[in-house]
Amino acid sequence: MAASATTSTLAVTMFGYPNRNYHLKPPATATLRFWRSAAAAAVATSRREAEAEEADEVRRCLAPARLEVLEQMEPWVEAHVLPLLKPAEEAWQPADLVPDAAALGADGFHAACVELRGRAAGVPDAHLVCLVGNMVTEEALPTYQSMANRFESARDVTGADATAWARWIRGWSAEENRHGDVLNRYMYLSGRLDMRQVERTVHRLIGSGMAMHAPASPYHGFIYVAFQERATAISHGNTARNVRAHGDDALARICGAIASDEKRHEAAYTRVVERLLEADPDTTVRALAYMMRRRITMPAALMDDGRDADLFAHYAAAAQQAGTYTASDYRGILEHLIRRWRVAELEAGLSGEGRRARDYVCALPQKIRRMEEKAHDRAAQMRKRPTAIPFSWIFDKPVDLMLP
């Protein structure tokens, strides 16, 4: 989720909010109820059609022949995916990156905290908002492990399975768990944030869950996670660069360490989809088109602090303006995956639907680019002024945002 007003509308769309263009205007007051009813019926029909399409998509991808592909990949996962995990003895831990009272002693810990707060004081509020949004997203890990465990033929059935798929899910989750932990500790020590509000946001997000299209299908699920891991790596990497520019090298190291993990995880899920495209190109490319038609919704799209009804949209706008995650990043991720997976070269094994899906996906980046250009032109014409949006995470201090 750099830019300013130019792509704020597009950024919210790319972050996962659907367009809501139901502008049916009644020709006269007397027919207002008729048009409202027609609009509601159109929306309901569209929703039913989407649900029916998703059910059909899930049935197709959960057919025995499709699931057998995943089962046969088990030895390959053992050889090519599991090695991307780091043993606990070699992996960095939060205590390596934030002051440790036991290791430093009382005086040393106090001095380290004073130094940390001094550096944190130079980070602008807008970047803090982006940091909190990233941290809240990371802290909702229980939801993500639950979602990954829904992928048929690739899940951990007992909670302690010895299969390669199950060990990957648990190992991936173990590495991800450190991300929210270290960011939480940094924020607590920085003194810049209302930690109770941050913690309530995490609590609410985990309670709300997340929405992902075709969540039981491993084809769709691995495509989603491959995209998301790259998005997360970009977001943390950009945050590292931004805060380093404002003098907080310690926070930059934290965000850089997280980004490095996310790149390994991205490599794993990208390899899985690559393998699926080799083994079952038609099903996989159709799943890719299906996911892109509905957009890759962000995992924290349901975040809620109990105060701001549009919290996620405001966080997305802040990330866009700060250059943490932008609409251009969304397009760039898609372009990268199309190249990496050689989607344009797919031919053998594709049905008519598969070829249409391939063509749709390959044409999509240019469509998104045109949307960016139109959003830029509209913003230039409108010359909108920023809106001051208070964020409870930073004690209700306002951040100037360009909103749609």
Task: Give catalytic status of residue 90 as yes or no.
Answer: no
d(CA 298, CA 313) in angstroms, rounded, equals 11
Are 161 and 169 in contact, with CB atoms under 8 Å apart?
no
d(CA 169, CA 171) in angstroms, rounded, equals 6
Annotated ligand binding at 176? The verdict is yes
Residues 6+ apart with CB under 8 A from 79: none
Catalytic residue among 127, 179, 220, 236: 179
d(CA 280, CA 287) in angstroms, rounded, equals 11
Catalytic residue among 6, 137, 163, 232: 232
Task: Give catalytic status of residue 179 as yes or no.
Answer: yes
Annotated ligand binding at 138? The verdict is yes
Task: Give catalytic status of residue 232 as yes or no.
Answer: yes
Residue type, position 287, single letter: A
Task: For helices 218-245 and 327-340, give the axis angle rounded to 10 degrees.
Answer: 130
Task: Give catalytic status of residue 92 as yes or no.
Answer: yes
Task: Give catalytic status of residue 347 as yes or no.
Answer: no
Catalytic residue among 156, 176, 248, 305: 176
Residue type, position 307, single letter: R
Nearest partner of 137 among 7, 14, 229, judged by Cα? 229
Are 161 and 363 in contact, with CB atoms under 8 Å apart?
no
Residues 6+ apart with CB under 8 A from 154: 70, 165, 169, 218, 221, 222
Task: Give catalytic status of residue 76 as yes or no.
Answer: no
Task: Give catalytic status of residue 138 as yes or no.
Answer: yes
Task: Give catalytic status of residue 335 as yes or no.
Answer: no
Catalytic residue among 213, 220, 265, 314: 265
Task: For helices 164-190 and 125-139, give the axis angle rounded to 10 degrees.
Answer: 150
Task: Give catalytic status of residue 261 as yes or no.
Answer: yes
Residues noted as catalytic? 92, 138, 176, 179, 229, 232, 261-262, 265
Per the annotation, binding residues for Fe cation are: 138, 176, 179, 229, 262, 265
Per the annotation, binding residues are: 138, 176, 179, 229, 262, 265
